Amino acid sequence: MDPQYIRNFSIIAHIDHGKSTLADRLLEFTGALTAREMMAQVLDSMDLERERGITIKAHAVRLNYKADDGITYQLNLIDTPGHVDFTYEVSRSLQACEGALLVVDASQGVEAQTLANTYLALHHNLEIIPVINKIDLPSAEPERIREQIEQLIGLDASGAVLASAKNGVGIKEILEAVVMLVPQPKGSPDAPLRALIFDSWFDPYRGVIILARIFDGRLKMGQKIKLMSNGKTFEVEGLGFQSPKPIPCAELAAGEAGYLHCNIKTISDAKIGDTITEVANPASEALPGFEEIKPMVFAGLYPIESHEHGLLRDALEKLRLNDSAFNFEPENSVALGFGFRCGFLGLLHLEIIQERLEREFNIDLITTAPGVRYRVTKTDGSVIEVENPSKWPNTQEIASIEEPLIDASVITREEYVGEILKLLEEKRGVQKKFEHLGSSRILLMYELPLNEIVLDFYDRLKSASRGYASLDYHLAGTRVSPMSKLDVLVAGEAVDALSIIVHRD
Ligand SMILES: Nc1nc2c(ncn2[C@@H]2O[C@H](COP(=O)(O)OP(=O)(O)OP(=O)(O)O)[C@@H](O)[C@H]2O)c(=O)[nH]1
Ligand SMILES: [Mg+2]
């Protein structure tokens, strides 16, 4: 299709502000799904997503929309997760788009991830269209939220669409805004092929399935393609787009997004962020990829029944195929036997993997206390990274220890600030900013050790604020701290599985 008639956009928001529900309405309105096929948050296809009502993975779909100008546009929409653990999904999705719908709950207003995701979108130079959602709620204050968006984010919200994703209000206005305001994709269908891999997963029958955004050139059935990071070549065996059912097509051209498979057997060959080009007419330069994501939180997973160790390894390998953010290596413990040390993006990610193992693979698990990765400089000058208390060096061998830090922002109401400040101080936080946001809301920015938020921080924050606090954070370097291994003795003997790393204080 002529790029002039293509619009690529993401839906971003704080958790639960209604992204997936809005996606439902857009699918329905454009006729991608009939009322009979429709169910709530239809793009959240994983069982766990449906049960918990949260989005974990980003989902891309193509819609056709006949606009008021009489032209039918191709809209490629990506619904994204709102939880901070999955920010990398948002950031990848944004790189495949020229615009973003910024959904803000009309009663809750701007929250921590609203800000974080807006900054991500601005960083990618996207056109941002504010949508004030849930105006059907009795507590909705759309005009106040409009002011908030202007003051806090600095976006012009005079044209913000007032919507109720639940009741289907404002849907046409949103689609018109997308068509009018989101820029058409740049890039030329006649240039050498460059397609960005922004997601991939493993299908037992077809091998790796890739989701790609075509920036230049054309991707065709039967074409010989090359992955620019490793030079490996493949032949395109399947090509199409999701609508949301997979619909095969013969060609994807510059500006479009879709899926392809080409008999890739190992998921690590189709790296997310890599550029696909054509063997016959290769591009000279790869597209800027993504920052590699690294696990931040580590815990040991052990089967309760020791004979299930092999089963657990198989299950972890399967999960890893579709979740490159997660890693594991074997470890053993005197107390718990054979298990795995696993790395996660955060606590929700840990919880989800654990639940999937128990539910999809039927393995009962023991999980050790989550911890973080430290950089230890030894007295002999060597530097090691330690995320496992059982690998902690002897005190005499340690010269210094660096622990990972995060920059955290908390948005809350004035009346809870006292309690929250107490909590942040107790967690060894250093205040960076204390800002009144108007209408008795406060933004707190703190530098905190990552180690301090992996145990009970969320629960404590929730009870300190009665649920009226939102948190966002990202890694922000390290600092030297007197950390120490704490052993727990049972009947006079140290139990390795109970050891944790703590601050000396
Ligand atoms: N009253 C009302 N409720 C809504 C509206 N839109 C969404 N909701 C409800 O808000 C809750 C969260 O909606 P989702 O669409 O799952 O929100 P989300 O932003 O996709 O959430 P995450 O993907 O977890 O970040 C659900 O219970 C929806 O039914 C609306 O316009 N009005
Ligand atoms: Mg969602």
Is residue 446 scored above 80 in pLDDT? yes
Q: Pick the more confident residue, 1 or 123.
A: 123
Q: What one-character-per-residue DSSP string does 368-398 give?
A: PPPB--EEEEETTS-EEEE--GGGPPPGGGE
**Ligand 1 atom closest to Cα of 55?**
23
User: What one-letter code names the amino acid at 264?
Assistant: I
State residue 403's pLDDT score: 95
Cα of 337 vs centre of ligand 1, distance in Å, is: 43
CB of 345 within 8 A of CB of 84? no
State residue 89's pLDDT score: 86
Nearest CA to ligand 1 atom 11: 16
**Ligand 1 atom closest to Cα of 83?**
25
13-38 average pLDDT score: 89
Nearest CA to ligand 1 atom 9: 18
Q: Could you tell which of 10, 12, 14, 21 is best to mutate to test the pocket of ligand 1, judged by most ligand atoms within 8 Å of the CB? A: 21
d(CA 409, CA 432): 10
pTM, two decimal places: 0.88
Q: Is the dihedral of CA 41, 121, 297, 318 positive or negative?
A: positive
> Sorting pLDDT into bands at 50, 70 and 90, what band is 49?
confident
Nearest CA to ligand 1 atom 14: 18
State residue 212's pLDDT score: 94
Kind and range of the H or E run holding 242: strand 238-242
Q: What are phi and psi of 196, to 5 degrees?
A: -95, 125
Q: Is 46 in the pocket of ligand 1 (CB under 6 A)?
A: no
Rg (CA), the chain: 24
Q: Is 15 in the pocket of ligand 1 (CB under 6 A)?
A: yes
Is residue 157 scored above 80 in pLDDT? yes
d(CA 426, CA 497): 26
> Sorting pLDDT into bands at 50, 70 and 90, what band is 269?
confident
Nearest CA to ligand 1 atom 10: 18
Q: Is 58 in the pocket of ligand 1 (CB under 6 A)?
A: no
Q: Is 77 in the pocket of ligand 1 (CB under 6 A)?
A: no
Q: Could you tell which of 11, 12, 14, 16 is best to mutate to test the pocket of ligand 1, judged by most ligand atoms within 8 Å of the CB? A: 16
State residue 271's pLDDT score: 84
Residues 6+ apart with CB under 8 A from 108: 14, 17
Cα of 73 vs centre of ligand 2, distance in Å, is: 24
For the chain, what percent of residues have pLDDT higher than 70?
100
Cα of 10 vs centre of ligand 2, distance in Å, is: 12
Cα of 44 vs centre of ligand 2, distance in Å, is: 7
**Ligand 1 atom closest to Cα of 79?**
20
Alpha helices in 209-327 (DSSP H): 309-321
Cα of 323 vs centre of ligand 1, distance in Å, is: 25
Q: Is 170 in the pocket of ligand 1 (CB under 6 A)?
A: no
Nearest CA to ligand 1 atom 8: 18
Identify the nearest ligand to the CA of 24 by its number. 1
Q: What is the pLDDT of residues 230-250, one digit of tens each?
A: 899 999 999 999 988 899 999
Q: What is the pLDDT of residues 467-495, one digit of tens each?
A: 888 898 888 999 999 999 999 999 998 88
Is residue 391 scored above 80 in pLDDT? yes
**Ligand 1 atom closest to Cα of 163?**
31
**Ligand 1 atom closest to Cα of 54?**
24
Q: Is 55 in the pocket of ligand 1 (CB under 6 A)?
A: yes
Encoded tokens for 156: 């012009």
Q: Is 53 in the pocket of ligand 1 (CB under 6 A)?
A: yes
Cα of 22 vs centre of ligand 1, distance in Å, is: 8
CB of 504 within 8 A of CB of 484? yes
Which of 332, 331, 29, 364 lies closest to 172, judged by CA?
29
Cα of 502 vs centre of ligand 1, distance in Å, is: 39
Relative to beta strand 99-105, strand 127-133 is: parallel
Is residue 37 scored above 90 in pLDDT? no
Is residue 289 scored above 80 in pLDDT? no
Q: Is 194 in the pocket of ligand 1 (CB under 6 A)?
A: no
Q: Is 16 in the pocket of ligand 1 (CB under 6 A)?
A: yes
Cα of 447 vs centre of ligand 2, distance in Å, is: 29
Cα of 52 vs centre of ligand 1, distance in Å, is: 12
CB of 133 within 8 A of CB of 26? no
